[in-house]
Structure 1
Amino acid sequence: MPENEGQPRLPHHPYDKGYRQLLADKRVFMELLKTFVREKWVETIDADDLILMNKSYVLQDFSEKEADIVYRLKTRDKNVIFYVLLELQSTVDYLIPFRLLLYMVEIWREIYNNTPQHERESKHFRLPPIIPAVLYNGASSWTAALSFKEMLDGYQDFSGHFLDYRYLLFDVNRYNEEELIRAANLITSVFLLDQKMRPEELAGRLQKLSGILRRLTPDEFRHFTTWLKNVVKPRIPGDFSAKIDGILDASNPWEVERMIYNLEITLEEMQQQALLKGLKEGEQKGKLEGKLEGKLEGKLEGKLEGKREVARNLLLLNFDIETIVKATGLTPDEIAVLKKQLEQ
């Protein structure tokens, strides 16, 4: 039986929560299909016809391994169920085709039990087709079988006499950066940030996505920052986690450069603190601390000077102060000072 009498399982992993919240928006789910599934039926689906089934079909045996999300498409012409298993583990589970089958049967069994007896005994009764999919973000290549028949011993000898299906695979780390940036939407931005990287690379990747993030709607941008919180914050020490929270909560699409700048500064401070923490007390620590602080201050001053130069150019082009604030992240007072300097 599905666990908790129809209530969704609480995700045990930050990625579960992040992706479940993201894909619970049917517009984002449609974006996932239309971006990565090259099949004609995708174009016939309207997001308004999708209904999120707020229920998990993951069996108790696997409840600590995975999460799922289920949509039902029901129109005059179609009655289809999309079942996406969130396989957000570091290693591949080769039983995936079998486990997907268990979940699909569980869905069909529930539909059968909830259909009036006279309807299900009619010759016209049909079960809805289920399109299974797996979203995987492990660093290792996905090497599990993509069709159920591959799990059957000697299936080549009995072709046409057994159950088979093939699932969709969304393998986050296998999409190349150019492809994700070219698609220019919310789900591809998330995938690019979810690909394997060192913490110090986060700001650089965000910078590459800045143009895309700036064009997101406020709702889409909030989905993005919520996902970022769920996935990035658990890796951040407590003191800096609160700073990350504050930066993301105060962010919006039209000030995305300021968000990236503030995140970059916070991450650099975190790296500096981590280096200093590993050293013994004494003169060596003092020297290195001074060196690191000087390096950080120089880097920050260089970034700030770059922003000032952009602001000067915009002032010369007669842009208003509000626009320059949004473009550079400088305060109105800082821009006013630069304006006075140009007028002298």
Structure 2
Amino acid sequence: MPENEGQPRPPHHPHDKGYRQLLADKRVFLELLKTFVREEWVAAIDENDLILVNKSYVLQDFSEKEADVVYRLKTRDKNVIFYILLELQSTVDYLMPFRLLLYMVEIWREIYNNTPQGERESKNFRLPPIIPAVLYNGANNWTAELSFKEMLDGYQNFSGHLLDFRYLLFDVNRYSEEELVKAANVIASIFLLDQKARPEKLVIRLQKLAGAIKTMTPEEFRHITTWLKHVIKPKMPTGIQAKVDCILDANKPWEVEQMISNLEIALDEMRQEILLQGKLEGKLEGKLEGKLEGKLEGKLEGKREVARNLLLLNVDIDTIIKATGLAPEEINALKKQLEQ
């Protein structure tokens, strides 16, 4: 067993941080599987058999690329040990099937190296299955290939002879609001709150989740408020962030309606401040424009006065143009006025 199993690794990407911390809780990870994966093997997983693998499977060929979340587990009925490898993405990575394959090979390599030679060379030695998955919260559709063979040129010509696997895709923004509200658990609530929307939409979504949140344990509720503070709050205007912190710190699951009401008030105050700021800026801009126009008009009138005096002295028009910078048309117009 790898050293430090059961403890989350420190994340180093902003998008990873929220989901890594969230999915380090095996209850939430199991919720993810049982809510969104409709396969028989999921039903055979028990929470007590989930072990978070705190090991960095770094790909030497990909700078700053490493496996995000890896769980070691076994099925309840057959006691088969297997792994789930979950990658976190906020942008589409077209190399994802290849990256997942490399991570899987690294996990198998470690298991092979940690197995006694006599055991691994026996007829009955088997490598554990690894189920690859991607959690994606980007705004655009996930357009990378879903199976490994589709990355191979002309794979249709070699049917039955090629390595292949198909990874699970959890696409946050493609789940319907109805489906997420109906699930009524932590991971579905987080997905709904993470879907792209303006801050005002956040209050509406929280209102729809209120019934589920009220029944959550304090630990589950902490996941929701932590997510709001560290992932959603930074997307809000700076002026409201400190107030949001205070609101989230002061509430418990059964006080969720009060929390939502306080957030709504804070957002309304933010809108009023933005409107007031806009009006003040408009007035200030009008005053500045008026002063600038006055100065420009004064300078122009001064040039015209110089041109009139030079015309009265019978100075030629070309000289007056050079002296004042006025256009020939304007000087001719001044000349006609003097001749009337």
TM-score w.r.t. structure 1 length?
A: 0.75
Aligned length: 279
Give the stretch that moved more between structures: 226-235 or 123-132. Answer: 226-235
When residues 214 and 63 of structure 1 are mapped into structure 2, their CA distance, relative to the original with a 3 A threshold, is farther
* 2:219 maps to 1:219: yes
- 1: CA distance, partners of 2:110 / 2:81: 15
When residues 64 and 194 of structure 1 are mapped into structure 2, their CA distance, relative to the original with a 3 A threshold, is farther
Give the aligned partner of residue 87 of structure 1.
Answer: 89
Give the stretch that moved more between structures: 230-239 or 126-135. Answer: 230-239
Q: Which runs of no fewer than 5 residues in structure 2 stay unpaired?
A: 1-6, 286-340
Give the aligned partner of residue 107 of structure 1.
Answer: 107
Give the aligned partner of residue 43 of structure 1.
Answer: 43
When residues 220 and 108 of structure 1 are mapped into structure 2, their CA distance, relative to the original with a 3 A threshold, is same
Q: Does the Cα contact within 8 Å between 1:98 and 1:148 map onto a contact in 2?
A: yes
Distance apart, 1:240 and its partner CA: 2.5
Q: Does the Cα contact within 8 Å between 1:221 and 1:253 map onto a contact in 2?
A: yes
Given residue 87 of structure 1, which amino acid in structure 2 is its aligned partner? Answer: Q
Provide, for residues 131-168 of structure 1, a one-character-per-residue CA deviation record: whole Å limited to 9, x for no partner. 00000011111111111000011111111111100111
Q: Does the Cα contact within 8 Å between 1:136 and 1:172 map onto a contact in 2?
A: yes
When residues 202 and 44 of structure 1 are mapped into structure 2, their CA distance, relative to the original with a 3 A threshold, is same
Distance apart, 1:58 and its partner CA: 4.3
Give aligned-pair identity as a percent.
Answer: 73
Instruction: Tell me the secondary structure at the aligned position of residue 71 of structure 1.
Output: strand
Instruction: Tell me the secondary structure at the aligned position of residue 150 of structure 1.
Output: helix
Instruction: Tell me the secondary structure at the aligned position of residue 132 of structure 1.
Output: strand
* 2:190 maps to 1:190: yes
Instruction: Tell me the secondary structure at the aligned position of residue 190 of structure 1.
Output: helix
The residue correspondences of 1:1-344 to structure 2 (distance < 5 A) are 10-59=10-59, 62=62, 64=64, 68-74=68-74, 77-89=79-91, 92-278=92-278, 280-281=280-281, 283=283
Given residue 123 of structure 1, which amino acid in structure 2 is its aligned partner? Answer: K
Distance apart, 1:271 and its partner CA: 3.1
- 1: CA distance, partners of 2:219 / 2:253: 10
- 2: CA distance, partners of 1:67 / 1:201: 33
Distance apart, 1:224 and its partner CA: 1.3
Given residue 39 of structure 2, which amino acid in structure 1 is its aligned partner? Answer: E
Q: Does the Cα contact within 8 Å between 1:14 and 1:230 map onto a contact in 2?
A: no
Say which structure, 1 or 2, has more relative contact order (CA 8 Å, 6+ apart). Answer: 1
Distance apart, 1:252 and its partner CA: 1.0
CA RMSD of aligned residues (A): 2.4
Distance apart, 1:26 and its partner CA: 0.8
Distance apart, 1:267 and its partner CA: 2.1
- 2: CA distance, partners of 1:176 / 1:276: 36
Q: Does the Cα contact within 8 Å between 2:59 and 2:65 map onto a contact in 1?
A: no
Distance apart, 1:244 and its partner CA: 1.5
Given residue 115 of structure 1, which amino acid in structure 2 is its aligned partner? Answer: T
Instruction: Tell me the secondary structure at the aligned position of residue 68 of structure 2.
Output: strand
Distance apart, 1:85 and its partner CA: 0.4
Distance apart, 1:234 and its partner CA: 1.8
Distance apart, 1:195 and its partner CA: 1.1
When residues 242 and 103 of structure 1 are mapped into structure 2, their CA distance, relative to the original with a 3 A threshold, is same
- 2: CA distance, partners of 1:61 / 1:273: 50
Given residue 55 of structure 1, which amino acid in structure 2 is its aligned partner? Answer: K
Instruction: Tell me the secondary structure at the aligned position of residue 216 of structure 1.
Output: coil
Q: Does the Cα contact within 8 Å between 1:148 and 1:166 map onto a contact in 2?
A: yes
- 1: CA distance, partners of 2:245 / 2:271: 18
Give the aligned partner of residue 4 of structure 2.
Answer: none
Provide, for residues 49-94 of structure 1, a one-character-per-residue CA deviation record: whole Å limited to 9, x for no partner. 11011223243655657761110014672110010001123xx111
Give the structure with higher Rg (CA). 2
- 2: CA distance, partners of 1:66 / 1:175: 27
Given residue 103 of structure 2, which amino acid in structure 1 is its aligned partner? Answer: Y
